Chains A and B, each alone.
Chain A
Amino acid sequence: MAKILDMPKLSPTMEEGVLTAWHKKEGDEVNVDDLLAEVETDKATMEFRAFDKGVLLKLLVADGAEVKLGQPVAILGKAGEDISALVAQTGTAAPAAPAAPAAQAAETSAPAAQAAETSAPAAQAAETSAPVDRAAETSAPSPSGGGLGRGNANRPAEPRARGSLLDRTAQEGAPREANGPRTAEGRVFASPYVRRAARERGIDLQGAQGSGPGGRVVARDLDAIGNGAPPLPNPPPKEEGAGAQRSTEGAGAQRGTEGAGAEGAAALVRRGVGVPATVGLAEPEIRPLSMMRKTIARRLTESKKNVPHFYLTIDVDVEKLVQFREQINGELESAGANGKSRDKSEPKPPRVSVNDLLVKACAVALARVPECNAQFTPEAILVHQRIDISVAVAVPEGLVTPIVRNADRKSVVAISGEIRDLAGRARAKKLRAEEMQDGTFSISNLGMFGIDGFAAVINPPEGAILAVGQVRDEPIVRDGNIVAGKKLMMTLSCDHRVVDGAVGAAFLAELRSLIEHPMRIVTG
């Protein structure tokens, strides 16, 4: 039997994704684990692979479409199978263009919303023209109520009741389209009690015709539906979140317009974003939010809002560290050069950076001050027994934080190679979601951009982040004499719920000692 393929959750924080490219087309055979499509999530471009074998009978969204989690994207089944019912169920006739499939569906499949619009004026007129407002009881004439409320009493009961309900919904700015299951005819109307009962008993309301006004499914219809219909294939995932999601999603409509003409998009974005149309001033260039930008905005706002940051800064003499690094790289180079029959095509031996050494130094310092390798939860502080260091990597769209796992147990050269690999794949958007999850401490280095020092925003749920500046040539005092030296400024941002000032200072003291005696970085 044919089945609908929904957009799967491809990263732990994914709520929607852009289906950037289908790798199969309609009619293609699909085997288990075949690559179906690539999906740009909030984290990276992920692979959407098949769980079942069959024939791809229909694609429900086109390349470039923005797709919510759980939204149908394709139908898989046997060749020649009749899928008209499934297509109807998804409410999509053809692959939707990148321009907001959700919005389109709402427009095309919602005769109910239209009905609301057309019947609303009637309801309004009734309310404004009638001096007697019997809205409390609505509609039906009571035996004794014939006289006074004549204008209303003669009105057919239901259209008004329903029109006014929907009208009120619209006034309050709630979404007009439904969150619940749809049929080809539109939304299933069911009372809240029926929806709860259906959830609990696993009853599928799709296509159900109720006995209430306008076909509303009410309590007394439950048993009939429960017996007749097959159980839900999987529990409805979005019933609860959908409303809230939508209300925060002025961005949803806005993102979907990217593929449309630039001017139309700009106009829509402006409407969505609320750019003031100031007369006489040049309009800003509008750059729609990428998934990554949205995530950065959300996560860092969350961090600054919820995490009480404080900052500790040290300025460390790094002359020995720089020398040590040269020594290591010299060794690596000569080891490569002296290696037997070195091939010309072989790449230059990798060099270790100051940052690689700092990652290792932090790992060693964290092993000594585990209180800085900790996480706050409302119930308890979690002191991690692993040292997984997130390394901030700038990419064209923003930044990502791939993780060097168990950095305390890896050599500097291994860490160096791993960071090079992670950063490369980060720029190519080929990182897997789990490679960016569950770090315990972060390092952000802006030295290569000429920054002397800065304070970074903590990467929740981690307890601290170290911001590293550039190595500076500075006059320093050594044995009473001013000599040319090298300095490096580092600022530790701490979550005060986890790390107190003295603890942060103890960590930085360890770090300083390691950097000033760099051999200890590798000897642990």
Chain B
Amino acid sequence: MARNIRFREALREAMVEEMERDDRVFLMGEEVGHYQGAYKVSEGMLDKFGEKRVIDTPIAEGGFTGIGIGAAMVGLRPIIEFMTWNFSAVAFDQILNNAAKLRQMSGGQFNCPIVFRGPNASAKQVGSQHSHAMEHFYATIPGLKVVAPAYPSDAKGLMKAAIRDDNPVLVMESETLYSVKGEVADDQDAVPLGRANVVRQGRDVTVVAYSRMTHVAMDAAAQLEKEGVSVEVIDLRSLRPLDEDTLINSVEKTHRCVMVHEGWPYGGVGAEVADRIQRLAFDALDAPILRVATLDVPMPYNAKLEQLCIPQPDRVVAAVKRVLYRGQA
């Protein structure tokens, strides 16, 4: 059986089930306990597991991230919540230099089985400092795994896989997805890391997205279908490791690719995807790979300008037409 539940509920279920299964797992972060979570993801968890396993921290990301990493080194399996990923910038040194490096630097004597999670990328009018798509920074770091689910079922499955993995895994959620509902199987188990999902089959063009942009891509695909364009949509789910096979198989079929993500166009996950495809499927390409990304500016606060900067379905449609050489010489 499946239930129709919200994204935040799916995340919570994953954490609760894993904490019930394994008493080494605990949750730590700002407002995760008594306030029931800044976005109510951890609602009810303090009551259920008590203060030893659901730990409210001061506003000190560098500190509690480091404490989490230390706990992971000595055998616990922490889940560290960032109120938003923007604040992880304060803890960047811990993630980059400790979480990602300890296993290698200790010659395998230490594992770092830790999960970092929180909402990522734009929300609604939270300004230039709180709208960052941080996954691009983290996905470039060897030693980390980065996932970005788009649907409640994957949110639950990837969160479970993240908690069970013996490496640091970063789960990129989205404020604007927390209330999105979706079918989640009663027995939804871990979704393997590093596997993309073809969420819509198509013939003419491959649109690659993840997290909330998967929904934007799906909207664009529905619009394009009315115009006779058959769009295949790939939800990456895992940004690192990256599922090359699914990308290449799709582009071998469609010969065209548009990448959609939040975050700036310079470098990043989209550039990485474009590199893999042109390198591994060069002869399959009928057009340059285009990227639809957040415009190359600090995010404006103004609501209209903000929406202008964030990729929208119409921009995806325009890019798809461009790789199809539609409406131009």
- The interface of chain A, by Cβ under 8 A from chain B, is 131-140, 142-145, 147-149, 157-158, 165, 191-196, 211-213, 218-220
Tally of A-B Cβ pairs under 8 angstroms:
90
Contacts A137-B319, A140-B322, A157-B328 given; does A193 touch B286 at CB 8 Å: yes
Q: How far is the CA of A158 from the CA of B319 in the complex (A)?
A: 14
Q: Does B186 touch A at the CB level, under 8 Å?
A: no
Q: Decide: A140 and B329 in contact? CB cutoff 8 A.
A: no
Given A142-B318, A212-B325, A213-B328: A136 and B292 within 8 A (CB)?
Answer: yes
Q: Is residue B308 contacting chain A, with contact meaning CB distance below 8 A? A: yes
A220 and B285 form a contact (CB under 8 A): no
Contact assessment for B283 and A145 in the assembled complex, using a CB-CB cutoff below 8 Å: no
Known: A135-B296, A136-B290, A195-B283. 10 other contacts (CB 8 A): A134-B296, A140-B318, A142-B314, A144-B314, A145-B308, A157-B328, A191-B255, A194-B286, A211-B329, A213-B328
Residues of chain A within 8 A (CB-CB) of B288 are 165
Report the count of interface residues on B (CB-CB < 8 A).
31
A157 contacts across to B, CB distance below 8 A: 328
Q: Give the dominant DSSP class at A's interface.
A: loop
Q: Return A159 CB to nearest CB of chain B, in Å.
A: 11
Q: Answer yes or no: B305 CB below 8 A from chain A CBs.
A: yes
The complex places the Cα of A115 from the Cα of B325 at a distance, in Å, of: 22
A194 to chain B, nearest CB (A): 7
Task: Render B289-324 as a binary contact track against A, CB cut-off 8 A, 1 for contact.
Answer: 011110111000000010111001011001100100
CA distance A191 to B319 in the complex (A): 17
Residue contacts A-B, CB under 8 angstroms, 8 given: A132-B297, A137-B318, A140-B328, A144-B314, A147-B305, A148-B295, A158-B328, A165-B288
Hey, which bits of chain B sit against chain A, CB under 8 A?
Answer: 255, 265-266, 270, 282-288, 290-293, 295-297, 305, 307-309, 312, 314-315, 318-319, 322, 325, 328-329
Cβ–Cβ contact B291 & A192, under 8 A? no
Q: Cβ of A218: which chain B residues have Cβ within 8 Å of it?
A: 286-287, 325
Contact of B295 with A144 in the complex, beta carbons under 8 Å: no
Specify the chain A residue showing the minimal Cβ separation from B252. Answer: A193
CB pair A196–B308 under 8 Å, yes or no, is no
| Contact assessment for B291 and A158 in the assembled complex, using a CB-CB cutoff below 8 Å | no
Whole-angstrom distance from the CB of A242 to the nearest CB of chain B? 15
How far, in Å, is A485 (CB) from chain B's closest CB?
63
On whether the beta carbons of A136 and B297 are closer than 8 Å, the reply is no
Q: Kindly report which residue of chain A lies nearest to residue B271, judged by CB atoms.
A: A136
Q: Are A142 and B295 in contact (CB under 8 A)?
A: no
- Chain B residues near A136 (CB, 8 Å)? 265, 270, 290-293
**A148→B297 contact, CB < 8 A:** yes
A213: B residues at CB distance < 8 A? 325, 328-329
